[in-house]
Structure 1
Amino acid sequence: MPAAQRVAGLGRLLCGKSGGRTRLRRLYQDGSAKIRLPAVQGDPLEAVLINTAGGLTGGDRLGWTIEVGADASACITTQACEKVYRAAADRAETSVGLRVAPGGRIAWLPQETIVFNRAAFARRLDVELARDAEALVLEATLFGRLAMGERAVDGSFHDRWRVHQDGTLIHAEDFRVGPDIAATLQRRAAAGGALAIATLLLVSPQAENLLEPARAIVGDPGIGGWGGASFLSVGRSGKLLARLCASDGYQLRERLVPLVELLNGRAGLPKLWSL
């Protein structure tokens, strides 16, 4: 049997400050990776990432590189939730590289990744920040869709983050689950039975001031789910780390949306999140 055709996509975007606002300087897209720029009145520049393959499965490869110039600002999101389907062989892989120059800011705010049963997926996120650059980074994952009667029982999922500022590693984490996804997520030390999880990291001198408002959202007893938020000083800046767990994607978004609005300041939510 001939080998099945696999997805291969690569997208790169470089933006910089010019004429008092952030403007596109370079755009490259190859294969299934497409980038669109909605019209905005001012900063930040908004970019929408699209995987025209409609999802990922074993053997697929997708890569994104975003560079933000000095004093520029960009908000990056996706057209829709990324779906990771059952893998017959190998695993799907996504790599993301974010680089921000002095005085720049990036908000990496993709919509949720949906992991289907027997999927195999690895995601790598590498962030390089200049000494006084800022970043808001989000990844949210749904292990199935309860409303559709779907649940990720078996498979493998690996999420790897490395964040450097001024050449120093300031945040690193590896989240790996599988092959028995459902049983692992049931454990109290893992997700306590949650099927929807999200991690947000804010690197900014303002991060400490936002800790208590963030905790009020994360720990709101009137909203389903649970989680936590913490702050650590890193050099001349600081980082706020928040984690959310919920029974499904709807309950996750009930807290995720106001939390993103809080941490992203005046830029608020990407337009596509409200459609």
Structure 2
Amino acid sequence: MYDGTSPSEAGVSGRGMASPGGGLRDGRIGLRLRAAEGRTGGVTRLAELDQAAPLRCLFPTVSKAEPLTACLTNTAGGLVGGDRMSVAVTVDPGARVLVMAQAAEKLYRSKGPDVRLDVSLSAGEGSWLEWLPQEMIVHNRARLRRVTRLDLNPGATVLAGEMLVLGRTAHGEQLTEGLIHDAWRVRVGGRLVWADALHLEGDLAEAIAHPAGFGGAVALATLVAHAPDGAALALMEEIRERLAASPQVRAGATEVGGLLITRFLSEDGLALRAAFADIWGYSRQALGSYAPVLPRPWHV
């Protein structure tokens, strides 16, 4: 079931809501969801929300057949050097939620300081969590350090992803220098099962063009799936077949520590986005019996 609980009905804090203009910004979202009627099934309600500008959390009205949906937005319109943003999502046992980005994020050129993003996702027994990204568009000479941490109960079902577009491709921009450090840490039952990091620094154009690097790809994405009793791993062959039907995308799916990891590369950001949406839609239907489509705001 779905319950459109508004923030005013739960423990909500708006500390730090002053205007972010004029310097470094420390934005945060702290979100906890609980199942109102026991550990499995029942209505999911907002239990806690702590937010600080420029990050805000909105709750759009969705179909009753969908999980509670939280939409995260950056009211500053982008990220600049020195910004520090953190998002922490806790899904209590039995709760079901989709957390998504409202729009693509822009990472602007930096004069030196890094943008630091810290994402922490925790999913309890019998819970459902979708962490659905939109693209982060990396401008030339931008500097990014991001860590995404997942702490999962073995009985949780989780889909989590990230997407990067290297340069303002619609403007013909090519990345020549900057920093991209993008890391994942996934624990299941308290045990580290996957650690991964992409690190690009210095001559980015060479790394992007090199056959042993991205081979000319300017868009990349990762999708991590976990479900009890290896249910996510059972989707691997079907996902590989669907990926093979996307000729503009180089992609693969594999098992790591009980997780199903799907990676995407493309020279066309729109083609990658379409392939990513197809695999996500298929996975959410197969694992959660939800419609094989992404929320309407994701397509705007």
**TM-score bucket (shorter structure):** over 0.9
1:39 aligns with 2:30: no
Match of 1:271 in 2: 296
Match of 2:108 among 77, 85, 106: 85
Per-residue deviation, 1:105: 1.8
Structure 1 Cα separation of the partners of residues 23 and 60 of structure 2:
31
Q: Deviations over 1:128-170 (max 9, x none)?
A: 1112112111111000132222222211000011000101111
Match of 2:19 in 1: none
Structure 2 Cα separation of the partners of residues 102 and 196 of structure 1:
34
Q: Answer whether contact 1:7 1:56 (CA < 8 A) is retained.
A: no
1:33 partner letter: L
Matched position secondary structure for 2:254: strand
Structure 2 Cα separation of the partners of residues 131 and 8 of structure 1:
33
Q: Answer whether contact 1:74 1:105 (CA < 8 A) is retained.
A: yes
1:18 aligns with 2:36: yes
2:251 partner letter: G
Match of 1:52 in 2: 75
Structure 1 Cα separation of the partners of residues 170 and 135 of structure 2:
15
Matched position secondary structure for 2:281: helix
Q: Answer whether contact 2:32 2:47 (CA < 8 A) is retained.
A: yes
Decide whether aligned partners of structure 1 residues 83 and 142 sit closer, same or farther in structure 2, where only a CA change above 3 A counts: same
Match of 2:86 in 1: 63
Match of 2:267 in 1: 247
1:83 partner letter: K
Match of 1:152 among 175, 189, 200: 175
Larger strand fraction of residues: 1
Unaligned runs of 5+ in 1: none
Matched position secondary structure for 1:176: strand
Structure 2 Cα separation of the partners of residues 209 and 47 of structure 1:
28
Match of 2:239 in 1: 214
Q: CA RMSD in A?
A: 1.6
> Structure 1 stretches (4+) deviating beyond 4 angstroms?
none
Q: TM-score, normalised by structure 2?
A: 0.85
Single out whichever of 136-145 and 259-268 deviates more from structure 2: 259-268
Q: How does 1:129-140 map to 2 (within 5 A)?
A: 129-140=152-163
Per-residue deviation, 1:254: 2.5
Matched position secondary structure for 1:264: helix
Q: Deviations over 1:79-126 (max 9, x none)?
A: 111110000121111110101111112111110111000000111111
Q: How does 1:169-184 map to 2 (within 5 A)?
A: 169-184=192-207
Q: Answer whether contact 1:49 1:77 (CA < 8 A) is retained.
A: yes
Match of 1:228 in 2: 252
Structure 1 Cα separation of the partners of residues 211 and 282 of structure 2:
28
Q: Deviations over 1:57-94 (max 9, x none)?
A: 11011110100010111111111111100001211111
Structure 2 Cα separation of the partners of residues 188 and 230 of structure 1:
22
Match of 1:127 among 150, 160, 171: 150
Match of 1:258 in 2: 278
Match of 2:9 in 1: none
Per-residue deviation, 1:43: 4.3
Single out whichever of 262-271 and 25-34 deviates more from structure 2: 262-271
Unaligned runs of 5+ in 2: 1-21
Matched position secondary structure for 2:174: coil
Match of 2:219 in 1: 196
Per-residue deviation, 1:257: 1.3
Q: Answer whether contact 1:223 1:254 (CA < 8 A) is retained.
A: no
Q: TM-score, normalised by structure 1?
A: 0.93
Structure 2 Cα separation of the partners of residues 252 and 202 of structure 1:
18
Structure 1 Cα separation of the partners of residues 100 and 94 of structure 2:
20
Match of 2:10 in 1: none
Structure 2 Cα separation of the partners of residues 18 and 273 of structure 1:
27
Structure 2 Cα separation of the partners of residues 149 and 189 of structure 1:
23
